[in-house]
Amino acid sequence: MKILTTCFLIASTQLCLSQRQDETTIRQIYDKALTEGQSYSMLDYLSNKIGSRLSGSPGAAAAVEWSKRAMQDASFDSVWLQPVMVPHWVRGQKEIGRILRTKRGEATTVNVCALGGSVGTGPDGITASIVEVKSFEELAKLGAAVQGKIVFFSRPMDPTKINTFAAYGGAVNQRSSGASEAAKYGAKAVLVRSMGSNLEDYPHTGGLRYAPNLAKIPAFAISTRHADMLSKLLVEEKEIQVYLESHCETLEDAPSFNVIGEIKGSEYKDEIIIIGGHLDSWDLGQGAHDDGAGCVQSIEVLRILRTMGYQPKRTIRAVMFMNEENGLRGGLKYAELATKNKEKHIAAIESDRGGFTPRGFTVSADTSTRKKIQSWRPLLEPYGLSDFSQEGGGADIGPLAQQGVALIGFLPDSQRYFSLHHTSEDTFDKVDKRELELGAASMAALVYLIDRYGLK
Amino acid sequence: MKILTTCFLIASTQLCLSQRQDETTIRQIYDKALTEGQSYSMLDYLSNKIGSRLSGSPGAAAAVEWSKRAMQDASFDSVWLQPVMVPHWVRGQKEIGRILRTKRGEATTVNVCALGGSVGTGPDGITASIVEVKSFEELAKLGAAVQGKIVFFSRPMDPTKINTFAAYGGAVNQRSSGASEAAKYGAKAVLVRSMGSNLEDYPHTGGLRYAPNLAKIPAFAISTRHADMLSKLLVEEKEIQVYLESHCETLEDAPSFNVIGEIKGSEYKDEIIIIGGHLDSWDLGQGAHDDGAGCVQSIEVLRILRTMGYQPKRTIRAVMFMNEENGLRGGLKYAELATKNKEKHIAAIESDRGGFTPRGFTVSADTSTRKKIQSWRPLLEPYGLSDFSQEGGGADIGPLAQQGVALIGFLPDSQRYFSLHHTSEDTFDKVDKRELELGAASMAALVYLIDRYGLK
């Protein structure tokens, strides 16, 4: 309505014609995505035929080949691989977790998995008393009292936060830094309540970072339901032992690739807009939402623009980043080469929050760029994109910040993400076709606007 | 931000204090729903223990008893049953559908179900040639050419409509009126492409209305995938026969009930705000989203306000309407008795679009009421409620329009609804806990605002 009113007021001016053209083009983009879209069938293949794609794994290698071929089949102007060495962590045999209530002679199996990057316990496992803490402050107060024990980090994601990413942000340091924090005081291992929104039976893996100069101790996630059970038991009886066994190990770095495809710009071919997701995934599920969705949506953006016959002024690239989950090597390599090759990126868009219904975009950029993007809201709101208020980009595009690139994150509905994230449940059947397609169209619409008007 | 700025400008005025209180109360409502909510466990029981609840069925009777007890357990001031006679249609044995390509001697089974309210074919079934049409206009042009044949209505829901309810609205007349339209020209039966957003293997049932003075012919839905297959076959060969068999029948009207619970108002107890969903469901799934979600959310609204110790000024009622799916008798009875008893309803809110992430509310009311509700947007937007632009209420509360009641529809995300609607797939596992809880909280927040400020 706002657009129409403006049009009447300044009838037949250039601006008005331009708005009409934008409305028409954006409508065409959505029509293409919803009637002839290929994002869903691409994701079906990536999830069900290739499956999990942890860096260095055969799945990751297959995904590199597949995405290269997918972009070639979609007739992009050029498609190439960007070599990058990646960490190569392997889980090995399935982990074992048992709560031992020795006084009662009871052993209860609990659902655990090793955190990504963790050292293994080896075949003998670790048996030790467990000490529960909710924060690093609480751990520091206990200090040497945790020596020789397993530290159980049990702080849940805050369910009252409407944005589940904020809840995740408030709990995830237990997973990423808990092992080294506990190692400071001589703990033998850590067990972390899974980063899950709800009570679930499956554990959530995810990366940890060992601090330099501290012992590397084995780290596990435990399902939220079993975490609650354990917390409850610890109220009843102080002395509980836990048995943990994992066989994971870190091998030599392995060769891998970012996969890049582009459509060359006509007027400002040196100005590059990238749209990407990460091709690697954790090993427990299929990486359907995280981040198969972002990958196929990124390919789909260029495919839609190409099949519409749209000739971009600027160069548009789809980038499948490798190794977001446990190293970010792909994102770092991409930025390194962009600098080395003196490439001028004007915008980087990442989709890495799942293939859910679009709500808006996050933007990390200077004020005038943010305002320019926000000024497009009337064109995008009819498609459900109404939230342009948050800052943020994405992990893989983060390293481009140094070059002053506007970083943009695709922002879908966040409610279901942390029921699936990094688990065996992140499978293709959890993806809704329309939700996925709307995401691809939303990103294509934004790419179109950036291409047409620039960001300055 | 807008609220804060206003607060600074008119610091320490009554209005500002009032806004603060609203913000605090709404925050408390969401906290309750997300940390101590019972909507999900209630829906688990209703879906998994009781299951489908077609009017007149044992499931519907069990749901009446269950919801009465649930409201009593939640200590509402009063809970009562409102008797209403309902249509009693039964599906009988599972339907059979076969495409017969007689020239080739091939028979292909297709997934069909009888439409609700349809007459059955009886055990001998119907075998006839099939004629495909996309609209009633096309049917009328064929006229007598469809005599003795089965009319296949194949117009899909328009996938380019972002609001799937608009797509549904554009296709559903084939289901609701197709049988009688085809009967005008002597057709033997109708087969309707399911009202589904995607290509699926299961058919969607749903109500039909036979026009008076026309033959009642059997009506079936066919899965969208098989509908497409049939359309394709009909391009290849004109003469295809179909075999259809159904055993459904309409029995005598049966006694049933609306179930009502209320919390009495303190200041204006004669002013009533109702919040409701429909307790009946189709028989193929569990009626989890349609409309178990709306029922448990409505009970949860009152339960949350009660457990918060909130004393409403006005009377707040949760209403479980019976028979929305195939008769609307519950909604009609409720409005009839409200008139007869000279009750003054100021607002009626219905949740009947599934238990998905909240986006806003639809409002059918006079301009000043609409504006008043829209003025609360800044209080609700932090919770993702940003769409207050559409008109609409809900089927069950529709009959209250005559009394000038403001009709309000809860508006969740619509993308997944028509993959489940009226099918075997509408089961509890398709409901996300947080999405459901956020819906209950959204409605409770709106009820709180209406209670506190009225609508005039």
**B434:A413 CB<8 A:** no
Residue B147: its pLDDT value, please? 98
Each residue of A358-403: pLDDT tens digit?
A: 999 999 999 999 999 999 999 999 999 999 999 999 999 999 999 9
Q: Is B324 a catalytic residue?
A: yes
Closest B-chain CA to A30: B160
Token pair recorded at residue A137: 């402050």
Element (H, E) at B407: strand B406-412
Nearest to B455 by CA among B311, B318, B346: B346
Q: Other C-beta atoms within 10 Å of B407: how many?
A: 23
B182 and B284 belong to one structural domain: no
Q: What percent of chain A has pLDDT over 90?
A: 93
Smallest Cβ distance to A433: which of B198, B432, B435? Answer: B198
Smallest Cβ distance to B386: which of A383, A386, A435? Answer: A386
The C-alpha of B125 sits at a distance from chain A's nearest C-alpha, in angstroms, of: 36
Is residue A210 a contact partner of residue A179, using CB atoms and an 8 Å limit? yes
Helix (H), strand (E), coil (C) string for chain A: CHHHHHHHHCCCCHHHHHHHHHHHHHHHHHHHHHHHCCHHHHHHHHHHHHCCCCCCCHHHHHHHHHHHHHHHHCCCCEEEEEEEEEEEEECCCCCEEEEEECCCCEEEEECEEECECCCCCCCCCEEEEEEEECCHHHHHHHHHHHCCCEEEECCCCCCCCCCHHHHHHCCCHHHHHHHHHHHCCCCCEEEEECCCCCCCCCCCCCECCCCCCCCCCCEEEECHHHHHHHHHHHHHCCCCEEEEECCCEEEEEEEEEEEEEEECCCCEEEEEEEEEEECCCCCCCCCHHHHHHHHHHHHHHHHHHHHCCCCCCEEEEEEEECCCCCCCHHHHHHHHHHHHCCCEEEEEEECCCCCCCEEEEEEECCHHHHHHHHCCHHHHHHHCCCECCCCCCCCCCHHHHHHCCEEEEEEECCCCHHHHCCCCCCCHHHCCHHHHHHHHHHHHHHHHHHHHHCCC
Is residue A60 a contact partner of residue A299, using CB atoms and an 8 Å limit? no
Round to whole Å and give the CA distance between A65 and A30.
28
Smallest Cβ distance to B357: which of A198, A383, A415? Answer: A415
Q: Which of A324, A343, A350, A425 is catalytic?
A: A324
- DSSP helix/strand/coil, B97: strand
A282 and A313 belong to one structural domain: yes
A258 and A240 belong to one structural domain: no
User: How many residues does this entry show for chain B?
Assistant: 456
- DSSP helix/strand/coil, B453: helix
Cis before B291 (ω within 30)? yes
Query: Does some domain include residue B149?
Result: yes
**B435:A415 CB<8 A:** yes
- Report yes or no: B386 at the A interface, CB cutoff 8 Å: yes
Last residue of a domain, one of B202, B231, B247: B247
**B382:A30 CB<8 A:** no
Residues 6+ apart with CB under 8 A from B12: none
Last residue of a domain, one of B247, B262, B293: B247
Nearest to B87 by CA among B290, B291, B280: B280
Q: B44, B168, B383, B434: best mutation site toward chain A, by most A Cβ within 10 Å?
A: B434
Q: In whole angstroms, what separates CA B57 from the centre of its chain?
A: 18
Residues of B in contact with A289 (CB under 8 A): none
Smallest Cβ distance to B438: which of A387, A415, A419? Answer: A415
Closest B-chain CA to A438: B162
Element (H, E) at B67: helix B58-73
Residue B29: its pLDDT value, please? 98
Residue A1: its pLDDT value, please? 46
**Strand order through the sheet with A249-263:** A78-90, A249-263, A314-321, A268-278, A344-350, A406-412, A358-364
Q: Which residues pair with B406 in a beta bridge?
A: B347
Give the E-state strand segments of B37-119 in sequence order. Answer: 78-90, 96-101, 106-110, 112-114
Residue A6: its pLDDT value, please? 54
Angle at A84 between CA A80 and CA A87, to 5 degrees: 140
Round to whole Å and give the CA distance between B69 and A77.
66
Q: How far is CA B220 from CA A176, B97, B114, in A?
A: 55, 9, 4
- Report yes or no: A454 at the B interface, CB cutoff 8 Å: no
Closest A-chain CA to B382: A162
Each residue of A72-107: pLDDT tens digit?
A: 999 999 999 999 999 999 999 999 999 998 778 889
Query: Does some domain include residue B299?
Result: yes
The C-alpha of B381 sits at a distance from chain A's nearest C-alpha, in angstroms, of: 10
DSSP code of B221?
Answer: E
Token pair recorded at residue B332: 């009609």
Query: Does some domain include residue B414?
Result: yes
Nearest to B76 by CA among B380, B316, B417: B316
DSSP assignments along B373-398, one per residue: HHTTHHHHGGGT--B-------TTTG
Is residue A351 a contact partner of residue A298, using CB atoms and an 8 Å limit? yes
DSSP assignments along B105-153, one per residue: TEEEEE-EEEPBTPPP--TT-EEEEEEEESSHHHHHHHGGGGTTSEEEE
B118 and B82 belong to one structural domain: no
Closest B-chain CA to A162: B383
B305 and B391 belong to one structural domain: yes
Round to whole Å and give the CA distance between B54 and B280.
5
DSSP code of B195?
Answer: -
Query: Does some domain include residue B13?
Result: no
B238 and B158 belong to one structural domain: yes
Nearest to B149 by CA among B245, B247, B248, B241: B241
The C-alpha of B35 sits at a distance from chain A's nearest C-alpha, in angstroms, of: 7
Round to whole Å and give the CA distance between B41 and B37.
8
In chain A, residues 387-446 whose CB comes closer than 8 Å to chain B? 387, 413, 415-416, 419, 432-435, 438
Q: A413, A425, A430, A442: best mutation site toward chain B, by most B Cβ within 10 Å?
A: A413
> Do β-strands B249-263 and B314-321 pair in parallel, antiparallel, or remain unpaired?
antiparallel
Is residue A98 a contact partner of residue A107, using CB atoms and an 8 Å limit? yes
B67 and B176 belong to one structural domain: no
Global confidence as pTM = 0.96
The C-alpha of A31 sits at a distance from chain B's nearest C-alpha, in angstroms, of: 5
Rg (CA), chain B: 24
Cis before A291 (ω within 30)? yes
| Position A8 pLDDT exceeds 70 | no
**A438:B162 CB<8 A:** yes
Is residue A301 a contact partner of residue A295, using CB atoms and an 8 Å limit? no
Round to whole Å and give the CA distance between B16 and B7.
5
The C-alpha of A435 sits at a distance from chain B's nearest C-alpha, in angstroms, of: 6
Q: A1, A23, A357: best mutation site toward chain B, by most B Cβ within 10 Å?
A: A357
Read off the CATH number of the domain in which B138 is found.
3.50.30.30
Residues of A in contact with B435 (CB under 8 A): 415-416
Each residue of A271-314: pLDDT tens digit?
A: 999 999 999 999 999 999 999 999 999 999 999 999 999 999 99
| Position A438 pLDDT exceeds 70 | yes
- pLDDT tens per residue across all 456 residues of chain B: 455 555 555 555 677 888 899 999 999 999 999 999 999 999 999 999 999 999 999 999 999 999 999 999 999 999 999 999 999 999 999 999 999 987 788 899 999 999 999 999 999 999 999 999 999 999 999 999 999 999 999 999 999 999 999 999 999 999 999 999 999 999 999 999 999 999 999 999 999 999 999 999 999 999 999 999 999 999 998 789 999 999 999 999 999 999 999 999 999 999 999 999 999 999 999 999 999 999 999 999 999 999 999 999 999 999 999 999 999 999 999 999 999 999 999 999 999 999 999 999 999 999 999 999 999 999 999 999 999 999 999 999 999 999 999 999 999 999 999 999 999 999 999 999 999 999 999 999 999 999 999 998
Residues of B in contact with A30 (CB under 8 A): 160, 162
Number of domains comprising chain B: 2
The C-alpha of B383 sits at a distance from chain A's nearest C-alpha, in angstroms, of: 6
Model confidence band, residue A2 (pLDDT cutoffs 50, 70, 90):
low
Q: Which amino acid is at A268?
A: Y
Model confidence band, residue A18 (pLDDT cutoffs 50, 70, 90):
confident
- Report yes or no: B1 at the A interface, CB cutoff 8 Å: no
Hunting for tokens 């797509």 — which residue is that?
B167
A293 and A212 belong to one structural domain: no
Q: How far is CA B9 from CA A75, B19, B50, in A?
A: 58, 13, 55
Residue A13: its pLDDT value, please? 67
**A386:B382 CB<8 A:** no
The C-alpha of A431 sits at a distance from chain B's nearest C-alpha, in angstroms, of: 10
Read off the CATH number of the domain in which B299 is found.
3.40.630.10
Query: Does some domain include residue B270?
Result: yes
Residues of B in contact with A197 (CB under 8 A): 433-434
B227 and B331 belong to one structural domain: no
Residue B17: its pLDDT value, please? 85
Q: B415, B416, B429, B436: best mutation site toward chain A, by most A Cβ within 10 Å?
A: B415
Token pair recorded at residue A272: 């590059």
In chain A, residues 322-361 whose CB comes closer than 8 Å to chain B? 357, 359
Smallest Cβ distance to A160: which of B35, B419, B432? Answer: B35
Smallest Cβ distance to B162: which of A35, A159, A384? Answer: A384
Residues of B in contact with A416 (CB under 8 A): 432, 434-435
Last residue of a domain, one of A191, A213, A247: A247
A229 and A267 belong to one structural domain: no
Round to whole Å and give the CA distance between B423 and B196.
9
The predicted model gives A7-15 an average pLDDT of: 60
Q: What is the crossing angle of helices A433-453 and A14-36, to 10°?
A: 150
Q: Which of B271, B324, B343, B437 is catalytic?
A: B324
Each residue of A195-247: pLDDT tens digit?
A: 999 999 999 999 999 999 999 999 999 999 999 999 999 999 878 999 999 99
CA atoms within 13 A on the CB side of A337: 13
Closest A-chain CA to B28: A160
Instruction: Decide: residue A56, CB within 10 A, 0-12 exposed, 13-18 middle, 19+ buried.
Output: buried
Q: B29, B39, B357: best mutation site toward chain A, by most A Cβ within 10 Å?
A: B357
The C-alpha of B305 sits at a distance from chain A's nearest C-alpha, in angstroms, of: 17
Round to whole Å and give the CA distance between A287 and A118.
20
Is residue B360 a contact partner of residue B388, using CB atoms and an 8 Å limit? yes
B266 and B327 belong to one structural domain: yes
Each residue of A144-203: pLDDT tens digit?
A: 999 999 999 999 999 999 999 999 999 999 999 999 999 999 999 999 999 999 999 999
- DSSP helix/strand/coil, B262: strand
B139 and B237 belong to one structural domain: yes
Hunting for tokens 């269950």 — which residue is that?
B66
Round to whole Å and give the CA distance between B177 and B209.
6
The domain of B109 spans 92-247
